[in-house]
Structure 1
Amino acid sequence: MTTPAVIELVEHAPAVSRPLPDPVGRALAATRIIDAAPDPYAPGKWVLRAGSKVGAVTLDVPGGGPVTLRIIPKVPIARLFFLLGYSRDPRGWRDGQVEVAEHRDLQPALAYAVERQVDRALRQGPLQGYRAVEDTSIVVRGRIREAEQIRRRFGARLPVEIAYDEFTTDIAENRILGAAVDRLLRLPGVPRDVRRRLLHQRVRLAGITPLVRGQALPTWRPTRLNSRYHHALHLARVVLEDSSAEHAAGGLRIDGFLFNMNKLFEDFVTVALREAYRGTDRSCRLQDSHHLDEAFAIRLKPDFVLYGPERIPQAVVDAKYKAEKPDGYPDADLYQMLAYCTALGLPEGHLVYAKGNAPHTAHRVRHAGIVIHQHALDLDQAPAELLGEVRSLAYRIAADLRI
């Protein structure tokens, strides 16, 4: 078995020039995971730059062999998992809840965290519940599906089309956990000891109907009965939803796991702000749809809109985790926020960035009187301090509220 070549980049770091075979360079460019282009000053080299996606993927490049691409996040792994866990379940989150042990890379840390949560969920044995079953039988059980009996059997008495509720472990919660374990077992880079424990969890979930790849995940509702599963299910859905990279770009096979830091930061900021306003007479809407023009042709979807008691917009916020210009914030974000404030009839708007090279600042727009604030959150601090900073931001946005 050929050992994959490893390319390691840092999220949003300056571009680097690396010697690469042309098939590998073209494959990296085709994935659109990173920016890749031939180096105009050095034949045989490619200029590579990572954006906001972090994680690791393995590419099987025709003519170039297997290549592993690792993109290291700037924030510590433990902090990344806090952002993820809080945005998924803010009221159920507790500091230190998701362990990442000594792992410093995202993929091993994710596999370890999921395995630990699944182990806690299954410690008392797999959860059982009722599952609706439709079947054909010679014995009547439950109720007869009369319409199906007539359509399929044309009046014959046997066999019988029946429907019943079965008490079983083959329920949505266990199927989601089993699918996440299977997905992690297929990923490269999972440490041997973690892989062994994942195989043990797979044995615990034996007999569960596997999920069909590409289909929507089964739905489940948090209840008192499945409370021990909640945290494991939140992490399992991360593994199974849009954070995974398991597809083919053209004829290229890609297998691995990626996080989009833009989306992760946006989710955390909007959920944390919503929690900060909980218990007040305001309501919050995430990704609420509005229009810029009177003909309703230009659609706007700000990340966060704060409404007053009569559902009148009172504040608008957009979260922006991305590289800044060397001398400050990107101007395009200001134009976008100006459009939000104009459409919503607001005198002020707020842009929230991950802390970089610019402090809080405000711009008053000429001839409009609209003030656009730019705030920076420092992600490199303990969770309690970070949430306190978000609450302070929420107070600044709506200073008349007692938060």
Structure 2
Amino acid sequence: MSVELAEGGGWTTRDLTPAQVVTLAAHEGLLRMHPETATRWRLRAKDRVGSVRLGSGDAAVQLTITPKVPVDRLLHLVSYAPDKVHFDPRPVAAEPRPDLLPALAHAFVSAADRALLHGVLHGYRETSDTLPVVRGRIRHADQIRRRPGVPVPLEVVYDDHTPDIPENRLLLAAARRLLRVPGLDLGQRSALQRITARLEGVSVLSAGAPVPNWSPDRRNARYAHALVLAELVLRGSSYEFGDDGPIAVDGMLVTMWRLFEAYLARAVGEALRHRVGGRPEPQDRSFFLDTEGKHVLKPDLVHYLAAPHDGVLRPSAVLDAKFKTSPERGDLYQMTAYCVRLGLAEGHLVYASGTPGRVDVPVGEGRLRIWRHVLDLARPWRDLSADILTLAETIDGARTTRAA
């Protein structure tokens, strides 16, 4: 059976069998349950969104929690923070959305462009070949078997430094598949074609070939976001392009407040780095409230700039994201602690909705300014990137004005 709930919605009443009740009760992190009768239950979603298949057989339930944020905005956030998404390999059914795949294409292009910004990743691959000269080492057994007594050509094996590695094959396959998506605008198609052109020399996956395996490491760290999205594009039968009926997609669950925090920290951090340089540190955990180091501070973003007198990187801005409908007094206390400990006169709280403003907090003989910004996720996804740049400009402007 299928159960659909809404993020932040009210209670929904559904008829459930005892087996289905057991299935849903085993996943109390996803929803709340209260019985009305033995077979009739009131259900309410918690803070995750997505769709996942739970249980099996007669106890199976396809649970879908629809986000308040439209799917294209959700995918834009995921492109910056794919590590905050939990994928479930059990397929679920979903209705085709005309904006789903174009939005996914936009998210993938954004991540792939960042991955390839400093060039295409290369790796070493062992290659066997027949050559007129020695390269690497001779495969003596093959040489004797194939050409006994003949000195050339030689059967050799060598390490080839090549772009034809799993990471690039994954990016190329995803870009080629997205080029078949109907409804892409000219800019998206051009961007995808640009990505395929940059991956010249990379093998094209044959039809039905398994998705290339890769493991995150230091070498491919800059590819990580793009690779996760590429896997989403290619995942089994995740997307049946051109089919007007339901499509099979892998289960996916997202905790929205965690996703919002990670997206905002990484997106604003990148924007500040491009604007003024320095080093952004999302989820910085290097400061403590107390002298004994027992109470760690957890701002979502600290941006470091080189001090003019000695060139040492020091905190220049602090930001914390709040996926809430209205500010709370505790948010001000928290940001005050961040500013005092980091030695900053400005702090920035960013909400997903509400009204912007500023609160002045007296500290000793001075004042802290705590800014309340709003990043409206209801705006079209094409505008969110521009809003991030505006937010970074505002944060830098507040710091520069105060310093003057």
Q: TM-score range by the shorter chain?
A: 0.5 to 0.7
The answer as to whether partners of 2:265 and 2:283 remain within 8 angstroms in 1 is no
Match of 1:104 among 81, 85, 97: 97
The 1:239–1:33 alpha-carbon spacing in structure 2 relative to 1, beyond 3 Å, is farther
The answer as to whether partners of 1:174 and 1:205 remain within 8 angstroms in 2 is no
Match of 1:19 among 15, 19, 26: 15
The answer as to whether partners of 1:170 and 1:208 remain within 8 angstroms in 2 is no
**Structure 1 position 8, deviation (Å):** 0.8
Match of 1:44 in 2: 39
How do 1:262-277 residues align onto structure 2 when only pairs under 5 Å count?
A: 262-277=257-272
Match of 1:307 in 2: 304
- 1:384 and 1:76 mapped to 2: Cα distance? 13
The 1:388–1:164 alpha-carbon spacing in structure 2 relative to 1, beyond 3 Å, is closer
Q: How big is the alpha-carbon RMSD for the aligned residues of Structure 1 and Structure 2?
A: 5.1
Runs of 5+ in structure 2 lacking a partner?
Answer: 83-94, 114-119, 129-133, 140-154, 177-203, 239-249, 308-312
How do 1:118-137 residues align onto structure 2 when only pairs under 5 Å count?
A: 131-133=124-126
Letter in 1 for 2:72: A
Match of 2:151 in 1: none
SS where residue 291 of structure 1 aligns? coil
Runs of 5+ in structure 1 lacking a partner?
Answer: 89-101, 122-126, 146-159, 182-202, 223-228, 245-254
How do 1:170-249 residues align onto structure 2 when only pairs under 5 Å count?
A: 171-174=166-169, 204-205=205-206, 216=216, 220=220, 233=227, 235-237=229-231
- 1:168 and 1:364 mapped to 2: Cα distance? 55
**Structure 1 position 316, deviation (Å):** 0.9
**Structure 1 position 24, deviation (Å):** 2.3
Match of 2:251 among 243, 250, 256: 256
Match of 2:50 among 37, 47, 55: 55
Match of 2:357 in 1: 360
Give TM-score scaled by structure 2 length. Answer: 0.60
- 1:166 and 1:366 mapped to 2: Cα distance? 59
The 1:28–1:217 alpha-carbon spacing in structure 2 relative to 1, beyond 3 Å, is farther
Give TM-score scaled by structure 1 length. Answer: 0.60
The answer as to whether partners of 1:300 and 1:340 remain within 8 angstroms in 2 is yes
The 1:161–1:176 alpha-carbon spacing in structure 2 relative to 1, beyond 3 Å, is same
Asked if 1:329 corresponds to 2:324, the answer is no
Aligned identity (percent) is 35
Match of 2:77 among 77, 83, 105: 83
SS where residue 372 of structure 1 aligns? strand
The answer as to whether partners of 1:360 and 1:376 remain within 8 angstroms in 2 is no
Match of 1:377 in 2: 375
The answer as to whether partners of 1:315 and 1:349 remain within 8 angstroms in 2 is yes
The answer as to whether partners of 2:211 and 2:234 remain within 8 angstroms in 1 is no
Query: Matched residue pairs, number?
Result: 319
**Structure 1 position 7, deviation (Å):** 0.8
- 1:316 and 1:268 mapped to 2: Cα distance? 15
SS where residue 299 of structure 1 aligns? coil
Match of 2:149 in 1: none
- 2:218 and 2:346 mapped to 1: Cα distance? 42
- 2:62 and 2:306 mapped to 1: Cα distance? 53
The CA deviation string for residues 81-111 of structure 1, in whole angstroms up to 9 with x for no partner, is: 33334668xxxxxxxxxxxxx94399x7499
Letter in 1 for 2:126: V
**Structure 1 position 304, deviation (Å):** 0.9
- 2:284 and 2:12 mapped to 1: Cα distance? 39
**Structure 1 position 318, deviation (Å):** 0.8
Which range is displaced more, 67-76 or 276-285?
276-285
The CA deviation string for residues 227-277 of structure 1, in whole angstroms up to 9 with x for no partner, is: xx9997462256799xx9xxxxxxxxxx61223322332233223323432
The CA deviation string for residues 177-235 of structure 1, in whole angstroms up to 9 with x for no partner, is: 77999xxxxxxxxxxxxxxxxxxxxx94369676569x65896487xxxxxx9997462
The answer as to whether partners of 2:348 and 2:372 remain within 8 angstroms in 1 is yes
